[in-house]
Amino acid sequence: MTIPLAHANGETAMAESNADQIEYWNGPSSDKWVTNQQRMDRMLGAFSDFAMRQADIGPGERVLDIGCGCGATSHALAAHVGPSGQVVGVDVSRPMLDVARGRQTDLPVSFVEADAAAHDFGANRFDLLFSRFGVMFFADPDAAFAHIGRAMNPGGRLSFACWRPLSENPWMLQPVLVAKDFIDLPPRPGPEEPGPFSFANPERVRRILTSGGFSDIEFTPHDHEMVMGETVEQAIQTAMEVGPVGTAANEADTDTRAALNKAMAEKLATYAKPDGIRLGAAIWCVTARMP
């Protein structure tokens, strides 16, 4: 299937290989991100803050925010580069970009609805490529990074956050372990297939970035306990809406859903801290340079 994407200049890019992901990020999944956008930004903010610190952003720089979603990171990047800089957020999800565009700002931030692997950004346009969990969904990541790399200045930097393996991420693992006793979960994507954990293996990411022309590739681990919700009920909602559990649970009968909810509540309650339900999360911050 081929989905046409409107470019900022009115042209159309045909993104054959990423069509499944484009459909996914314009379907019910994007509605969940839009509805829970404030909670998601609170959960994920520590990781983008870390990746921004690693990027050492200066005033006046031009930044591309890949898979910018609802735009929180693009606006934060704009605060770093200031009025003389420029931030472009690119994403395939129209509902999420509508939220991004709706955020008030006087700073130079703009958004493009396009497949980052296919969009013509122009050459030598960016000093920094940034992403918070937006680069793991390319069907052909080698080609995608080679393409995006051509939009960078010589000497430009890259800094993105991606998840380490599921086994190191209890915020996703624990709900899956609870749910699998009640419902059939969809098969996990293979290690080379698009998905949240597809950049967990540093050797794979190093290969992708090297073939895309990047050098000085470094992986810095960062761990943080994310607040999944202030209450157990909110944490269940997050667990059901992010990741594979919710969709499968929706297809279960009422009794099964009730039993799953009860077991999930008991498990998540064991992670209660004074400010909410906190589960561990682990990322790589990947940094690199375009020679």
Furthest-apart CA atoms within the chain: distance in Å: 59
244 is a site residue for ligand SAM (CB under 6 A)? no
Nearest to 112 by CA among 128, 127, 135, 96: 96
**Complete DSSP assignment for 32-99:** HHHHTHHHHHHHHHHHHHHHHHHHT--TT-EEEEET-TTSHHHHHHHHHH-TTSEEEEEES-HHHHHH
276 is a site residue for ligand SAM (CB under 6 A)? no
Q: Residue 164: count other Cβ atoms within 10 Å of its Cβ.
A: 20
User: In the complex with ligand SAM, which residue's Cβ is closer, 116 or 200?
Assistant: 116
**Burial class of residue 38 in the structure, from the number of CB atoms within 10 Å of its CB (0-12 exposed, 13-18 middle, 19+ buried):** exposed
141 is a site residue for ligand SAM (CB under 6 A)? no
| Closest distance of CB 173 from ligand SAM, Å | 17
User: In the complex with ligand SAM, which residue's Cβ is closer, 27 or 60?
Assistant: 27
- Judged by CB under 6 A, which of 50, 57, 62, 67 binds ligand SAM? 67
132 is a site residue for ligand SAM (CB under 6 A)? yes
Candidate segments 67-75, 101-109, 207-215, 264-272, binder of ligand SAM by CB under 6 A:
67-75
- Strands (E) located in the chain: 4-6, 12-14, 62-66, 86-91, 109-113, 126-132, 152-163, 215-229, 272-273, 276-289
Candidate segments 88-96, 170-178, 206-214, 266-274, binder of ligand SAM by CB under 6 A:
88-96
- Judged by CB under 6 A, which of 78, 90, 235, 286 binds ligand SAM? 90
Please tell me whether residue 269 adopts helix, strand or coil conformation.
helix
| Closest distance of CB 162 from ligand SAM, Å | 10
How big is the CA angle at 207 (ends 206 and 212), to the nearest 5 degrees? 95
| Closest distance of CB 254 from ligand SAM, Å | 30
95 is a site residue for ligand SAM (CB under 6 A)? no
- Judged by CB under 6 A, which of 36, 86, 93, 237 binds ligand SAM? 93
- Judged by CB under 6 A, which of 96, 100, 235, 245 binds ligand SAM? 96
- In this structure, are residues 257 and 246 in contact, taking their beta carbons and an 8 Å threshold? no
Q: Which chain residues interact with ligand SAM by CB under 6 A?
A: 18, 21, 25, 40, 44, 67-70, 73, 90-93, 96, 115-117, 132-134, 137-138
